Amino acid sequence: MSSKEKIRQIHTCYKHPLSEAKRRCFNCKKYICPKCQIRLEGHIFCSQKCFNDFKKKDMQEKVSDFIKKKGKFYAFRMVFYPVLIFFILLSFFLYRQWIESIDEKEIKSLAPEIKKGNKNATPDWSSPSSIEIEYPSENSSVNESEIMVSGIAPKESMVGLYVNSERVDAVFSHDGKFVFEKVPLKEKKSILQVRYFDNYGNNAYSKAVTVQLIANPSIFGIPEREEPFFSPVLSSFLDIKQAKEGKKTILLTFDGGSNDNATDSIIQTLEESNVKATIFLTGEYIRRYPEKVRKLASAGNVIGNHTYSHPHLTTYSFNQKQATLPGVKKETVIEQLKKAEALYESVTGKKMSPYWRAPFGEKNSEILKWAYEAGFRHVHWTPKLDTLDWVADKSDPLFREPREILMRVLKEAEKGEKSLDGGIILMHLGSEREGELRADTILKDLIEKLREKGYSFITIENTMWAKQKSEIN
């Protein structure tokens, strides 16, 4: 052999030293014989473990290269856009809440009992009425710091409980009786009183009951009830306060409850003015005034549902919160709507339109969803267009003369069509007002003057909102 010849180096397998090895593991670089070779993804490996290690290193290198080249930009987008979307949705929700609070502030600021910073109302302790606490009895002593309070109240009324002048909770009195479970007594001497809010807007306090506590006072309180959260998108589908479409349209709406003294005048004015209105009737109104209901329906007005007996559905009248009133359940809402619907169909032979208006405007997302399951979507009113024509007492801060009602609506029209376009005006088919104090006396002027300003009148069925389709689970 020539000295110039290169001597071929022989390698052996690190697993089998007696076997010649010509190839190396792609990952660990060790020589391996043909028996030890594993071919995966175009490379030779000595074991599955080596292949897994290779894949891990390869992924780390790719991620590292990606971060060096484009990773920071993509990471920024992955964080920035979700955060941006979250804040947009949050801003939209808070904006709606803010608008609603502004819309209602004008009404709330006038209510004599609602004062800024005044959490607790001061009940009239000397006002006996058709509501009474039966248990505990006057000047009784109790051994427990949490007691039951029960009694009688008008049927289907809301009953609010006060302890030492502090609002505690409210319940729905289905059958003329009420029960509050586990009411905490925080002082040795407690003054209890209840207050009812009936279907007609009346309210009164019971006689006060004094209770002596033998045990130690409770350190707990009843959790405050809050309005259930709901998607703003679904909420806007189930409820409307203004149908803005840029068409300078107005919706005249009327609620029919327990009184009909303005109905004939309203029917005549609407007919003479060639205007169709959206009208919400209770079952009680339909039962009492079937002939007028038939006239309203035959005139081409859209007839919606105002529940059967006009009950309170939330705690708003008690604590200014739209929390579902304890005792009001899905079955309660559906029964109220279905019962009124069935009576309307039996009286007129026509189907009731699939829209409803909550008594006293008391509703929340939960109640809206229950009503939708019964086949109804909610039509509120534009707060600045609430005529408050039901307020009959001139000494009431909410009272407005008919001409004042007219001027307030026209004032909104002067602000531009953005303020009034699609506005939903709320009036009533009757009230305790008589003669020239009735708001229907300015209805014809209202229609004429709004038409002079370029506005036309439509019903809820003619809005884009009414034509929306959605499926709520």
The CATH fold assigned to 232-467 is TIM Barrel (3.20.20)
Position 228 scores a pLDDT of 82
CA distance readout (Å), 344 to 270, 295, 339: 21, 12, 9
Q: Point out the least confidently predicted range of 73-87, 107-121, 239-253.
A: 107-121
CA–CA separation, 267 vs 202, rounded Å? 28
Please tell me the CATH superfamily of domain 132-213, with its number: Immunoglobulins (2.60.40.10)
pLDDT tens digits, 257-301: 989 999 999 999 999 999 999 999 999 999 999 999 999 999 999
Beta-sheet pairing, 157-163 with 166-173: antiparallel
CA distance readout (Å), 43 to 20, 21, 57, 162, 174: 20, 16, 15, 82, 79
268's enclosing H/E stretch is: helix 263-273
Report the amino acid identity of residue 157.
S
Q: How many CA atoms lie within 13 A of 364 on its CB side?
A: 21
For residue 424, is pLDDT > 90? yes
Position 265 scores a pLDDT of 96
3-state SS assignment for residue 331: helix
Q: Averaged over 134-152, what is the pLDDT?
A: 95
Spatial CA neighbour of 110 closest among 380, 319, 400, 392: 400
CA 156, distance to chain mean position in Å, is 22
Q: Which two tokens stand for residue 153?
A: 């109240």
| Domain locations along the chain | 132-213, 232-467
CA–CA separation, 291 vs 286, rounded Å? 9
Percent of residues, the chain, with pLDDT higher than 70? 88
Confidence band of 96 (pLDDT split at 50, 70, 90): low
